[in-house]
Amino acid sequence: MLITNSYIAMGEVATKEAFDWISNDPKILKASTIICRLMDDIVSHEFEQTRDHVASSIECYMKQYGVSREETMKLFREDVANAWKDINEGFMKPAIFPMPVFTVVLNFARVIDFLYKDGDSYTNSHSLKAHIELLLVNPVIL
């Protein structure tokens, strides 16, 4: 949804064909959403289980397949790595659209990777403060 909505602000680059393509759930989009869902669940699983919250994909997978948390986490990390391979493959063989159409999908995955790589920076946004300051307040000028 976020990726599709991003196309609206792209002007003439986002053609009807680009919207049709993204609406057909291409492999590169699936990969990006896998990265989003699994990275979020991997880092926020324990915290979310302390709240009155819906089961995460980790809880569901453990129950459905009768495997441990560690096995589930390992499998999910492998799925994330494979999703990055699918994104790379999508860039190696792009469709007939301008590169910015694909870059939106890549940048979404990059943001998710950044937010969840070393913890849940989405929920604990105070950890983003230094990065935002470096980007907007004290940028590196070459």
How many Å apart are CA 142 and CA 120, to the nearest integer?
31
The residue assigned the tokens 């441990």 is 68
Which one, of 65, 40, 66, 34, lies nearest residue 53 by Cα?
40
Band the pLDDT of 128: cuts 50, 70, 90.
confident
The pLDDT-based confidence of 74 (bands split at 50, 70, 90) is very high
b/e code 86-116 from CB counts within 10 Å (16+ = b): bbeebeeeeeeeeeebbebbbebbeebeebb
Closest CA to 117 of 91, 85, 81: 81
pTM of the model: 0.79
| Domains and their CATH numbers in the chain | 2-137 (1.10.600.10)
